[in-house]
């Protein structure tokens, strides 16, 4: 039986057919517009534990896409944006509209000055049962996250560059149960980058962060929880060959909170990402990280899809994603993710600590049926094991397909 899309989704079908026809005559340009339709079957929608009622559902998603990558003399203007409409077959109160934005400007002068202005934003349905002591709700809870960043680079010598940046981040939830997880922060950084070779750069920088949680529930009222953080970062960017690149960061980090001191942290954090293309058909991306929860929550900000909230004190995570080209138009994707989170929760008069371990696997296939068209399918499985005092274990799976058309 063919899937039946909601009435608001049907006009997108007509738009997609027009895009497909027009793409035959389209010339390559710095701009693109497009659309996508997806249908996903989700098991255990609310991520409930074993023995509790499981709620399955079918979700239809219509997405409009647009973007640009335009050179303007020495400057470069770039951006990707998407608007999403999600409809649930059974849990209709969860129907929602979302967006993702990743935009910015790379600029440089005739002299030694250069930099970037960027803006990232997401609006999506928040995760159900995200763990970390967060309340488990079964109603619509919209999460909005924003990040604005400005950076400046100044070439001191031929091999040495001074870099400074200012970053503002903000996160808000619509559900009152999540008032305690709204937060805002500002980070300023200053560092030096040394590039002894074209394929190698070494960096050292200082970061200072200040922010606050405005609505921590405590004794029947709300209190403001201010926090400060300091980091000393050592970074490496190495491209040993055209088939491999390595980025690494090692930091000494400290976080202090004025109210919820049980979530203070002092120690080492860092990240390593490795892109490896051993053959012309196979590409493998591996990342390993150790960081505080709020930092992890902003890793995918601005990307198409939802943001994964992380309320942990510190998280150790591993991700491996691979893509294999079965033919010039058929690609096989596989991914594995694992995280080990240290949790310390205090909201109101409750305080507890513990750990949770989450693993997920996914397998998908993409068919490039035309220059502008893409058809893909994917299956996912997620599992969490945790201390019941701070998190709820669950397992869930999903599978679905989508079609995407893009016109340049």
Residue-wise pLDDT for 229-272, tens only, equals: 999 999 999 999 989 999 999 999 999 988 877 778 889 999 99
Q: How far apart are CA 300 and CA 247, in angstroms?
A: 17
| Contact present, 119 and 103 (Cβ < 8 Å) | yes
Query: Which pair of tokens denotes residue 270?
Result: 């860092």
Query: Which pair of tokens denotes residue 25?
Result: 């005559």
CA distances from 221 to 179, 211, 213, 217, 348 (A): 12, 20, 14, 6, 9
pLDDT of residue 343: 72
- Is 151 inside any structural domain? yes
Q: How far apart are CA 356 and CA 359, in angstroms?
A: 10
- Residue 387: strand pairing partners: none
- Is 94 inside any structural domain? yes
Average pLDDT score, the chain = 87
φ, ψ at 25 (rounded to 5°): -100, 0
Domain that holds residue 317: 31-407
pLDDT of residue 243: 94
pLDDT of residue 297: 58
- Is 4 inside any structural domain? no
Query: How many separate helices (H) and strands (E) can be counted in the chain?
Result: 2, 18
Closest by Cα among 235, 227, 150 to 192: 235
Share of the chain above pLDDT 90, in %: 68
Domain count within the chain: 1
Q: How far apart are CA 172 and CA 31, in angstroms?
A: 32
pLDDT of residue 25: 45
44 band by pLDDT with thresholds 50, 70 and 90: very high
Closest by Cα among 176, 106, 189, 184 to 145: 184
What is the pairing mode between strands 142-155 and 113-125?
A: antiparallel
Residue 53 CB neighbours (<10 A): 8
- Is 7 inside any structural domain? no
CATH number at residue 269: 2.40.160
Q: How far apart are CA 252 and CA 249, in angstroms?
A: 10
- Is 293 inside any structural domain? yes
- Is 2 inside any structural domain? no
pLDDT tens digits along 1-39: 444 444 444 544 444 554 544 444 445 689 999 999 999
| Contact present, 310 and 132 (Cβ < 8 Å) | yes
295 band by pLDDT with thresholds 50, 70 and 90: low
- Residue 154: strand pairing partners: 113, 162
In 241-309, alpha helices (H): 293-297
Query: Which pair of tokens denotes residue 332?
Result: 């096989």
Q: How would you class 7 by CB atoms within 10 Å of its CB: exposed for 0-12, middle for 13-18, buried for 19 or more? A: exposed
What single DSSP character describes residue 94?
Answer: G
- Is 278 inside any structural domain? yes
pLDDT of residue 345: 59
φ, ψ at 297 (rounded to 5°): -65, -25
| Contact present, 238 and 199 (Cβ < 8 Å) | yes
- Is 261 inside any structural domain? yes
Give the range among 188-192, 220-224, 402-406 with minimum mean pLDDT. Answer: 220-224
């Amino acid at each position: 039986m063919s899937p039946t899309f909601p009435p608001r989704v049907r006009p997108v079908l007509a738009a997609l057919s027009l895009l497909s026809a027009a793409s035959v005559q389209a010339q390559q340009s710095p701009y693109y517009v497009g659309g996508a339709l997806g249908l996903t079957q989700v098991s255990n929608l609310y991520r409930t534990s074993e023995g509790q009622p499981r709620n399955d559902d079918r979700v239809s998603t219509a997405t409009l896409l647009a973007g640009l990558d335009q050179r303007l003399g020495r400057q470069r203007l770039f951006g990707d944006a998407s608007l999403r409409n999600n409809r649930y077959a059974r849990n209709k109160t969860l129907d929602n509209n979302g967006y993702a934005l990743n935009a910015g400007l790379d600029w440089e002068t005739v002299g030694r000055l250069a930099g970037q202005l960027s803006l990232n934003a997401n609006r999506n349905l928040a995760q159900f049962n995200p763990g970390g002591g967060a309340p488990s709700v079964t109603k619509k809870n919209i999460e909005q996250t924003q990040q604005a960043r400005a950076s400046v680079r100044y070439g001191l010598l031929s091999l040495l560059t001074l870099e400074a940046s200012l970053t503002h981040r903000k996160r808000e939830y619509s559900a009152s149960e999540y008032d305690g997880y709204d937060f805002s922060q500002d980070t300023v950084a200053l560092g030096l980058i040394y590039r002894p070779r074209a394929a190698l750069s070494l960096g050292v920088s200082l970061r200072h962060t200040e922010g606050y949680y405005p609505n921590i529930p405590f004794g029947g009222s709300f209190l403001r929880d201010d926090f400060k953080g300091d980091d000393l970062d050592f970074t490496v960017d190495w491209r040993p060959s055209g088939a491999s690149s390595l980025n690494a960061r090692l930091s000494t980090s400290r976080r202090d909170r004025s109210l919820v001191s049980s979530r203070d942290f002092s120690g080492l954090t860092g990240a390593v990402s490795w892109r490896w293309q051993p053959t012309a058909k196979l590409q493998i991306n591996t990342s390993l990280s150790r960081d505080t929860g709020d930092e992890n929550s902003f890793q995918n900000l601005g990307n198409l899809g939802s943001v994964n909230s992380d309320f942990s004190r510190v998280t150790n995570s591993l991700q491996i994603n691979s893509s294999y080209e079965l033919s010039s138009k058929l690609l096989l994707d596989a991914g594995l993710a694992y995280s080990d989170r240290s949790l310390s929760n205090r909201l109101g008069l409750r305080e507890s600590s513990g750990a949770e371990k989450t693993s997920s696997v996914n397998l998908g296939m993409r068919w490039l049926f035309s220059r502008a068209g893409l058809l893909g399918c994917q299956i996912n499985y997620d599992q969490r094991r945790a201390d019941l005092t701070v998190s709820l274990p669950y397992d869930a799976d999903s599978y679905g397909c989508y079609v995407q058309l893009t016109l340049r």
